[in-house]
Amino acid sequence: MNDEFEVGKMVVVVNHDDEQSVMAALVMGAAIVATGDQVLMFFQPGAAKVLAKGELEKYQGLKGQPDPLDLYDAILVLEGRIILCELGLPIWDIKEEDLREGVEVMMASSFLFEVEGASMVFSY
């Protein structure tokens, strides 16, 4: 038996920009990194605009929900990765400089190499 702690890798895929999908994904992402596992959050084109500056603020104050900015910051502070599919940029006329701090832009094929060995995938 190996006594050495090994950090797991989990994936959260965000497909939609509705409040239920976005908040559930952020809560799960923050929970994953809080347990010490690595999280890679992949925002598909349908959720791309959520990562533009000023957009997460629209999800603040939802009844019974934590602050999405706190969740986003916690994910980054605990070394989670927020990755946007590059196809989301032209679809929504978003430029990379319009994105929140900490967002990586990547092709879907590159993302697949990044998540190799992931133990769980959540999709919202």
Which residue, chain included where needed, has tokens 């702690």?
5
pLDDT of residue 5: 46
Which residues of the chain carry a pLDDT beneath 50? 1-5
Task: Please report, for the chain, how many H helices and E strands are present, in that order.
Answer: 4, 5
**Fold held by 9-123:** Hypothetical Protein Ychn; Chain: A, (3.40.1260)
Q: How many whole angstroms separate alpha carbon 14 and alpha carbon 85?
A: 10
Residue 98: what pLDDT?
97
What is the structure's pLDDT at 105?
98
Contacts of 92 (CB under 8 A, 6+ apart): 45, 48, 49, 52
> Who's near 37: CB < 8 A, 6+ residues apart?
7, 8, 9, 10
pLDDT of 83 reads: 98
For 60, the token pair is: 């603040």
pLDDT at res. 1: 41
Query: How high is the pLDDT of residue 3?
Result: 43
Predicted pLDDT of residue 65: 96
Q: Identify the pLDDT of residue 100.
A: 98
